[in-house]
A and B are shown apart, each in its own frame.
Chain A
Amino acid sequence: MVPIVYYVVLSAVLFGLGVLGFLFKRNIITMFMAIELMLNAVNLAFVAFSRMLGQLQGQVYVFFVIVVAAAEAAVGLAIILLIARNRESLNIERVNLLKL
């Protein structure tokens, strides 16, 4: 059996990649994918711990996260589509109407 540490490290690495991608990419779609990566890193940790502790709660949470992620994807993609139409660009730097 693979020790829990491996899963947790993998999860942390994935999460870190997600954060970095979210911070440093300018393309909104890429940032969106980075968020998905972070969510799934968390899912991995949930499932691993659930398996280790022999409890079901972790797996149930994973389903919640997947549902939320799906809903978020629906809304998020719609917003992105509108931004792309209005700005003719997917660069996050140009979404700055609220700027001082």
Chain B
Amino acid sequence: MIILRHLWIIPLLPLLGAAVNGLLGKHWPRRVINAVALGTTGLSFAATLELVREFRHLSPDQVPWVQSYFTWMVAGNFRAGFDLQVDQLTVVMLLVVTGVGWIIHIYSTGYMAHEGGYFRFFAYLNLFMFFMLILVMAANYALLFVGWEGVGLCSYLLIGFYFLKQSAVVAGKKAFVVNRIGDFGFLLGMFLIFWSFGTLDFQPVFAQVAAMPAEAFGQVGLIAGIALLLLAGACGKSAQVPLYVWLPDAMEGPTPVSALIHAATMVAAGVYVVARSHVIFIHSPTALVVVAVLGAVTALYAATIALTQTDIKRVLAYSTISQLGYMFLACGVGAFAAGIFHLMTHAFFKALLFLAAGSVIHALGGLQEMPQMGGLRKKIPWTYWTMLMGTLAIAGAPFFSGFFSKDLILFQSFASPFGNTVLWALGIVTALLTSFYMFRLIFLTFFGQPRYDQHAVHVHESPLNMIAPLVVLALLAVGGGWMAAPALWGGTDHFEEYLAPVFEPSQAVVEQATLGQVESSLHDVALEHALMYAAIAAAIAGFLAAWFFYVRRPRIPDRLAENLRLLYSLLRNKYYVDEIYDSTFVRPLNWISGRVLWQVVDARAIDGSVNGLAQAAQRFGQEARRLQSGNARSYAAWVVLGALAFTSLLLWIAVR
């Protein structure tokens, strides 16, 4: 019961590490910095494992387990406390954040070994862990928002880690600004929740929402409003259309950061918030449809962009956006457990892929362009094999972790009462594209002839502290989904079963929606198998296409690009979305702030009024100094005049 009583230990350990390293670590040797950073996060992971053990002994009515530590702020009826909560969803998120986070910390000690600002890097990384843990453990929206903003801050700091590089600084700023747009929606959502329910604590809010009748489809009432505003925040953080633009640019940060923040944990925050607020979303079919459509469109859209990118990290960035789209799709069809399941498996294999990509970049001395790689299979076998595992997992190869979660999402998007064929079709096409671009990445990087300058680049396998995390993550990427395996044969999905108490209220709504149908397809094993074979077929088709294009006939892609020039340049330039945003939002805003706000409002109105007041005071003083003549008799005259005036006033008042 130690950890259950003292939940604060888990988030505060990384904060301690961040404070010690950040404030004192500047001149410390790297060994000490490593010990502090790895020690605190490792202890946090150990505390999480202990928490999982203790959590099993709680009786169902003790969950969610909420601990109040102190009152953070009070204003009128409003109270926000430093309250931490644990339920099954939190447990899963905690394991992902501390576990994957710790592995990435270990990897970073190898990857960052030759970089400057070592203590700063680990301080930021630990600080990020702290905020992420606050985010997933918070028991009210206010505290959740602290973590929410905190991870945004750390993301900004870490993207701009190489602060001498112009592009990194710009990317950091972009990430921050785009996230702020989403945060604005999230804040409004929070205000709306407090305005209508009088509290921000999860339990009372969800209880009140659950007691309300579900809104009709197409109706945009209070609940839909809250859900859509929260969704705006989730879109910003989880890089969904239209607020995804920051994530590809975030690749300017060091690779472990890409793995930890922009693949495994922070970007999952949006999905987590949607899943955490599942009661709100399930009560508004309108909002659900928006979530599902956004997710499906994002998944397909990002996958098409990933087809033509040549920077190895950018391909992975777009695949992250695409996979996050899957998670939103799952939440949008009411399959929150499936979304969280994919979140978890995705954290494993995407962290693996990014770290392996980092290992490739490390081996090639900083080279990131895939057209200049090739033939690395034999030279860095460990990286190759682990990355292949990650690729198989994300492509949905049978019995790899990604296969189970993606299969579940596709099945739910088809069979759930909120799903339909279109959503499923978008999902399956995305699955095909995913398989294609991931194997394209593998073939371009590891197969064929070396295209880099073999005299200039000394290819070397990464050190043990980088390989070991890869191996651990590869094992997780392969086996991380097996608890869902029995579902394929009509058994129980252990993951879904574990999360069931959390999603029970919304599951009831889903069940109710299926009651009207003649026959529920949710438990149709034959249908599930059919959809599963379709998904496998899509994955294999993607693999074969990639093999044909990039191994068998490597000249075809160039010729295709030549013939479909328009389409190719459209995809290559990411649908020109950055340019469109630049001309529709950024430039007009720059113009307004420069020409109007600065030169007119600030320079004329604000400066003008302040300076004008000062000048008026000065001029008045120039006139008034004549009164101070220094002549004693004139002072005497003034005194008498004043007394006379005052007496007259008194007389006038008295007479009146």
Contact = CB atoms under 8 A, between A and B. Distances in A.
Contacts of A26: 633
Contacts of B632: 92, 95-96
B640 A23 contact: yes
B629 A92 contact: no
| 8 nearest A-B pairs in the assembled complex, by CB-CB distance | A99-B630, A98-B630, A96-B630, A92-B632, A95-B632, A23-B636, A92-B633, A96-B631
Contacts of A23: 633, 636-637, 640
Interface string A85-100: 0000000110111111
A46 interface: no
25 contacts: A19-B640, A22-B636, A22-B640, A23-B633, A23-B636, A23-B637, A23-B640, A26-B633, A31-B636, A92-B632, A92-B633, A93-B631, A93-B633, A95-B632, A96-B630, A96-B631, A96-B632, A97-B630, A98-B628, A98-B630, A99-B629, A99-B630, A100-B625, A100-B626, A100-B628
Contacts of A19: 640
Interface in A2-57: 19, 22-23, 26, 31
Contacts of B629: 99-100
Interface of A: 19, 22-23, 26, 31, 92-93, 95-100
Contacts of A99: 629-631
A96 B635 CA distance: 12
B631 to A, nearest CB: 6
Interface string B612-645: 0000000000000110111111001100100000
A18 to B, nearest CB: 11
B633 A100 contact: no
Nearest to B633: A92
Nearest to A92: B632
Contacts of B631: 93, 96, 99
Interface in B241-285: none
A31 B625 CA distance: 26
A49 B637 CA distance: 29
Nearest to A31: B636
Nearest to A19: B640
A99 B637 CA distance: 16
A20 B637 CA distance: 10
A99 B630 CA distance: 4
Contacts of B628: 98, 100
Contacts of B625: 100
Contacts of B626: 100
Nearest to B630: A99
A23 B632 CA distance: 10
A13 B629 CA distance: 30
Nearest to A26: B633
A96 B633 CA distance: 10
A99 B633 CA distance: 12
- Among B631, B633, B640, max chain A CB count under 10 A is at B633
Nearest to A25: B633
A79 B626 CA distance: 26
A22 B634 CA distance: 11
A23 B633 CA distance: 7
A28 to B, nearest CB: 9
Nearest to A99: B630
Contacts of B640: 19, 22-23
A91 to B, nearest CB: 11
B235 to A, nearest CB: 70
B617 to A, nearest CB: 20
Interface in B198-240: none
A19 B636 CA distance: 9
B634 to A, nearest CB: 10
Contacts of B633: 23, 26, 92-93
Given A23-B633, A98-B630, 14 more contacts: A22-B636, A22-B640, A31-B636, A92-B632, A92-B633, A93-B631, A95-B632, A96-B631, A96-B632, A98-B628, A99-B629, A99-B630, A100-B628, A100-B630
A26 B633 CA distance: 8
